[in-house]
Amino acid sequence: MPTKLYYGKDIISKHKDEMILGEKALIVTGKHSAKLTGALDDVISVLNEFKIPYVHYDEIGENPTYDMVIKGKELGIKENCDFVIAIGGGSPMDAGKAISVLIANPELTPDDLFDSSKYEVSVPIITVPTTAGTGSEVTEYAVLTKPNGRKSGFKDVLIFPDVSYLDPKYMTKMSRELTLTTAVDALSHSIEGVLSKKATFMSDILAKESISLIKEYLPKVLNDLENVEYREKLALASTLAGIVIAQTGTILPHSLGYRITIHKGIRHGQATAIFLPFVLEEVKKAEPEKVKIIEDIFGSIDEFTTFLKELGIYNFKFEYKDDELDLFINEVLNSSHVKNTPGEYNYNKIKDMYNKILEM
Ligand code: NAP
Ligand code: FE
């Protein structure tokens, strides 16, 4: 994991020199949370101290689109920015990664990012996460929403952030709902990491620790949202989960969930985690020893399902339109995630999973 990761309260001020990776910074954020959490002020005060000029681009929304990324690229090039600092949840971090490649390769379009043979350089990228879920601060992935509405990730070693600052104090203002939906993204990463065909001895060690931390501290944090000690445990769990998927990739629940996020408006982590019990049941038929790792932590798949239900992640209501499900299923069957998931998956099995989440 090539990212230099610094972790703990007030961590930016303790490692401020390492933020100076160029002569002019492009700060990439969403509309509110970078300011609200104090992270933007902490970054700007370091840049001011070192007399580094910056431009602030604050137009990244959830599930970032090509347009958002192109606008950031054009601003960065026009302003001669030579490094990127992304502050926020996975959306600004992923958009910042895309922008860091596009600034260094002005001839490329966002579509070209998905063919890593087309680029060999990026400008340095620093991330400051304000959610605990995606692990994007330690991964070589960025997920964008294509013009046709499909969410899709690109991957390249160049977009491992150069430096990431993980400070739990930025996470204490998250609502209960955002805390839950982001934490179950991290939980999905670790569980999918264990089940993945690419799991290793090392990734399993990190995944087990991450799952145990989430099991213990997520219910606690949901009852005490401003507790920095609990927030610290979830931040660590989420980053460990990021290190896991940087090795193993994500599997079927992520692919199933992307459609639910885009077409039904359910946040990424929740849209993914709701499928975990059904994928665990399928993987158990093919590779029971992988599922046993999860059973050892929760007791059984049923007890794990009860844990998810009690968190409230199945409290949603939607229906599928005619033909919609057919499209989702075919997109999932064509995704790379399926190949990485132990077991046999066909049209009817995927359809069954999409229907079962409505019956929970
Ligand atoms: P997000 O989409 O970045 O942010 C969701 C919302 O939370 C935004 O409205 C944001 O506001 C707000 N927010 C962020 N931090 C906050 C805080 N501390 N307090 C209050 N509100 C806060 O959410 P996310 O779940 O972190 O990221 C999801 C994205 O990451 C998806 O596109 C997903 O596909 C992707 N992802 C990437 C990876 C990877 O490895 N790269 C892995 C998993 C998922 P503002 O807009 O004002 O900032
Ligand atoms: Fe995810």
Distance CA(244)–CA(289), nearest Å, equals: 18
Q: Assign 294 a pLDDT band (cuts: 50, 70, 90).
A: very high
Supply the pLDDT for residue 228: 96
Eight-state DSSP code of residue 27 = E
What tens digit of pLDDT does each residue of 207-237 get?
Answer: 999 999 999 999 999 999 999 999 999 999 9
- Cα-to-centroid distance, 170 and ligand 1 (Å): 13
Evaluate whether 158 touches 207 at the Cβ level (below 8 Å).
no
Q: CA 335 to CA 200: how far, in whole Å?
A: 22
pLDDT of residue 247: 97
Q: Which two tokens stand for residue 345?
A: 């998956």
Please tell me the distance between residue 254's alpha carbon and the centre of ligand 2 in angstroms: 6
CA nearest to 127, candidates 41, 247, 257, 4:
4
Ligand 1 and 89: CB distance under 6 A: yes
Distance CA 259, CA 245 (A): 20
Tens of pLDDT along 18-29?
999 999 999 999
Hey, what amino acid is at 109? T
Among protein residues, the one whose CA lies closest to atom 45 of ligand 1: 30
Rounded Cα gap, residues 40 and 167, in angstroms: 12
Question: What is the predicted pLDDT for the residue at 276?
Answer: 98
Mean of pLDDT values over 110-125: 98
Indicate the average pLDDT of the chain: 97
Q: State yes or no: pLDDT of 322 exceeds 90.
A: no
Alpha-carbon gap, residue 218 to 197, rounded angstroms: 27
- Which atom of ligand 1 is found nearest the CA of 246? 40
Work out the number of other CB atoms within 10 angstroms of the CB of residue 313.
Answer: 24
- Which residue in the block uniquely carries the two structure tokens 């999905």? 188
DSSP class of 81: -
pLDDT in tens, 34-73: 999 999 999 999 999 999 999 999 999 999 999 999 999 9
In tens, the pLDDT along 175-218 reads: 999 999 999 999 999 999 999 999 999 999 999 999 999 999 99
Strand partners, 54: 25
pLDDT (0 to 100) of residue 29: 98
Angstrom distance (rounded) from CA 136 to CA 268: 13
Residue matched to tokens 């046993």: 292
**Cβ(221)–Cβ(231) below 8 Å:** yes
Distance (angstroms) between ligand 2 centre and the Cα of 92 equals 14
Rg (CA), the chain: 20
- Closest C-alpha residue for ligand 1 atom 17: 174
Residue with tokens 């992520």: 254
Q: Tell me how far apart the alpha carbons of residues 228 and 65 are, in angstroms, rounded to a whole number.
A: 33
Answer for the pair 353, 275: CB distance below 8 angstroms, yes or no.
yes
Q: Does 340 have pLDDT greater than 90?
A: yes
- Euclidean distance between CA atoms 25 and 85, whole angstroms: 7
305 in contact with ligand 1, CB cutoff 6 A: no
pLDDT at 308 over 90: yes
Render 125-166 in DSSP notation, one character per residue.
Answer: EEEEESSSS--GGG-SEEEEE-TTS-EEEEE-GGGS-SEEEE
> Where do the DSSP E strands lie in 157-247?
163-166
pTM confidence score: 0.97
